[in-house]
Amino acid sequence: MRLALQGTRILDMAWIGPGPFCANMLGDLGAEIIKIHEPDPDRRGGLIKFAFPADSPDFPGLRNIKTMGLDLKSNDGRNIFYELARTADVIMEGYRPGVMKRLGVDYDTIKVINPATVYASLSGYGQEGPYRDVVGHDINYISIGGLLGMTGSIDGPPVPPGTLIADFAAGGMGAAIGILAALMAREKTGKGQFVDVSLTDGIVEMLYLWIMPYLLFGIENKRGDTIFTGHFPWYNVYETKDSKYVSVAAFEPHFYRNLCELLGREDFIEHQFAEGEKRDEIMQFFKQTFLTKTRDAWLEILRSKDTCVAPVYTLDEVVVDPQLIARGMIRELPHPTLGSVKQVGSMLKLSDSPFQVRYWATRFGQYTDEILHELGYDDTRIKNLHRAEVVG
């Protein structure tokens, strides 16, 4: 069985946020991910040590990742990187714009060594523009991109979402798509190219549903007052008798009809898009009615017909849900020292190239010597490089 990206080598220097998410996706698809870090991780104040929590012998490490310690500030370290670049299909980095150029491993340098390399740079605001050198994190990018301003109730402040949208969706998935597209283009041209990934750009594109009406017609949608953020009672979240919640999304008329019938209010059917007092009446009825039964009781009732309803899970419920287990999103995976470990699976389901774990990285620099041996370095030379702290 051949994995989809088998034979694709990726040098990964994007340790924070979108980089690990992208690398995880591509590694699960079969790419060889060589995650390059400083020989001494403490040089960066321990920012990358999140990958290997201290004093956690039961932590399985990173799946489908190889770790290599390499000092890119040294001549020997850069030369090793150049040797690796000749073998690489993709190079991915997540530093501030300009850092790679100062280190001598930027795209303009690498494309001379290997014109077929796809070089992806992940940053908050992109490689150009007035914000290119401004620091930030996920919440800052969703702020400028407009997503945070659209999240929350109509009468409340903006509310940060429950996960990292800019890092994982706009950045991590965006980078994966850009890299795969560039690899496809290389199949036709034989040449690599530069992939400029801006997390903020990704957020803006994800918000097109609300930005486009403003650009075209001057219609400005407000937080908590759109179809998908609580304006109508049939697309909302309701508390139940047991202090849990259900989500309702009866968008299509036939789903809304079924919902009204199951709630015993057929008179509401013709008022799906009502505004003003009628909308408020329906909303209040929904709120009061859902409080009369437990969450699971409502699920049983409302799933007897198509109504688009789901439980609002806590994490302890997510990891035991039978649908997610059946789909392999929560699964037991074999591990070389722990026997087996529970993991989040891969969202990507390819019929002929199914997800599998090929190896684990449980410490920094675990694969350094192996990779150097592949490049032709003998044991004596490797020991000297370790002694000089060029590798780790």
The tens digit of pLDDT for each residue in 285-334 reads 999 999 999 999 999 999 999 999 999 999 999 999 999 999 999 999 99
**Among the three residues 286, 311, 336, which one is the final residue of a domain in this structure?**
311
Has residue 174 been placed in a domain? yes
**Among the three residues 288, 311, 334, which one is the final residue of a domain in this structure?**
311
What value does the mean pLDDT take over residues 385-389? 97
- The burial class, CB within 10 Å (0-12 / 13-18 / 19+), for 387 is exposed
pLDDT of 46 > 60? The answer is no
Percent of the chain with pLDDT over 70: 96
Q: What is the pLDDT of residues 228-281, one digit of tens each?
A: 999 999 999 999 999 999 999 999 999 999 999 999 999 999 999 999 999 999
Instruction: Name the residue among 317, 168, 146, 302 with its Cα closest to residue 229.
Output: 146
Instruction: Name the residue among 227, 204, 225 with its Cα closest to residue 152.
Output: 225
Taking every pair of Cα atoms in the chain, the longest distance, rounded to a whole number of angstroms, is 84
Q: Note whether 334 and 272 are same-domain residues.
A: no
Q: Note whether 191 and 339 are same-domain residues.
A: yes
pLDDT of residue 333: 95
Question: For strand 62-63 and strand 360-361, is the pairing parallel, antiparallel, or unpaired?
Answer: antiparallel
Rounded to whole angstroms, the Cα distance separating 194 from 213 reads 32
User: Looking at the 3D structure of the chain, how many domains does it have?
Assistant: 2
Q: Note whether 135 and 31 are same-domain residues.
A: yes
Single pTM value for the model = 0.95
**Among the three residues 311, 337, 356, which one is the final residue of a domain in this structure?**
311
Residue corresponding to tokens 């990285």: 361
Q: Note whether 232 and 370 are same-domain residues.
A: no
pLDDT of residue 48: 55
Q: What is the pLDDT of residues 150-204, one digit of tens each?
A: 999 999 999 999 999 999 999 999 999 999 999 999 999 999 999 999 999 999 9
Percent of the chain with pLDDT over 90: 92
Please work out, in degrees rounded to the nearest 5, the angle formed at the alpha carbon of residue 391 by the alpha carbons of 136 and 72: 45
pLDDT of residue 45: 45
Q: Note whether 283 and 349 are same-domain residues.
A: no
**Token pair for 9:** 């080598």
Please work out, in degrees rounded to the nearest 5, the angle formed at the alpha carbon of residue 92 by the alpha carbons of 87 and 93: 130
Amino acid at 152: G
pLDDT of residue 49: 61
Q: Note whether 176 and 271 are same-domain residues.
A: no
Has residue 283 been placed in a domain? yes
Instruction: Name the residue among 272, 268, 260, 271 with its Cα closest to residue 306.
Output: 260
pLDDT of residue 311: 98
Q: With contact defined as beta carbons under 8 Å apart, do 73 and 103 qualify?
A: yes
Beta bridge partners of 123: 198
Question: What is the CATH classification number for the domain harbouring 92?
Answer: 3.40.50.10540
Has residue 220 been placed in a domain? no
pLDDT of residue 58: 77
Q: Note whether 360 and 288 are same-domain residues.
A: no
Rounded to whole angstroms, the Cα distance separating 71 from 25 reads 26
Rounded to whole angstroms, the Cα distance separating 305 from 352 reads 36
Question: What is the CATH classification number for the domain harbouring 283?
Answer: 3.30.1540.10
Catalytic residues: 137, 167
Has residue 296 been placed in a domain? yes
Q: Note whether 18 and 84 are same-domain residues.
A: yes
Has residue 321 been placed in a domain? no
Q: Note whether 19 and 165 are same-domain residues.
A: yes
Rg value, the chain, Cα: 25
Has residue 221 been placed in a domain? no
- The burial class, CB within 10 Å (0-12 / 13-18 / 19+), for 85 is buried
Instruction: Name the residue among 126, 133, 200 with its Cα closest to residue 169.
Output: 200
Has residue 73 been placed in a domain? yes
- E strands along the chain, which residues? 9-13, 32-37, 62-63, 65-69, 90-93, 118-123, 194-198, 235-239, 245-249, 309-311, 330-335, 339-344, 360-361
Q: What is the pLDDT of residues 194-235, one digit of tens each?
A: 999 999 999 999 999 999 999 999 999 999 999 999 999 999
Q: 265-282 burial, b for 16+ CB within 10 Å, e for fewer?
A: eeebeebbebeeeebeeb
Rounded to whole angstroms, the Cα distance separating 17 from 185 reads 27
Q: With contact defined as beta carbons under 8 Å apart, do 91 and 11 qualify?
A: yes
Has residue 186 been placed in a domain? yes
Domain hosting 100: range is 9-206+326-387
pLDDT of residue 16: 84
Rounded to whole angstroms, the Cα distance separating 391 from 55 reads 24
Q: Note whether 373 and 257 are same-domain residues.
A: no
Q: Note whether 164 and 16 are same-domain residues.
A: yes
Q: Note whether 365 and 267 are same-domain residues.
A: no
Please, what sign has the CA dihedral across residues 116, 117, 120, 121?
Answer: negative
